[in-house]
Structure 1
Amino acid sequence: MLLAKAGGEPAASIAVRLGHHLDWFLWDEQTRGSDVDRADTLSGQAVTGGYDHTQFALAREP
């Protein structure tokens, strides 16, 4: 049985959103330890499509 939050959203959807949230912290830690400037890293990922979890995309998820 899937758990649901008060709004009726399935637990699987909540887990996906949590995963995206935790991925950001992992990315942040990886960029802090590198020699690359953080702004360059983010823009480089945006150009190559490596950073595809934008706030707009997350808001559209089921």
Structure 2
Amino acid sequence: MKEKVEIPLDENAVYIVKNGKLTKVTAKEYGQDIIIWKNGQVLDIDRSQRMRIDGQEVI
């Protein structure tokens, strides 16, 4: 049985379908997401966050 899902096209996100399940990867302010593949399927997402230095005392 095939299931249909509607996704909004007015938001910034990435959708991953794995084994019939949908995962939404949301946008962040700064940084990068790296998708790790294994045997043709998404295994992991490596998320990093970039912080701009602007004279902060502590990060």
TM-score (norm 1): 0.26
- Structure with more helix by fraction: 1
TM-score (norm 2): 0.26
- Structure with more strand by fraction: 2
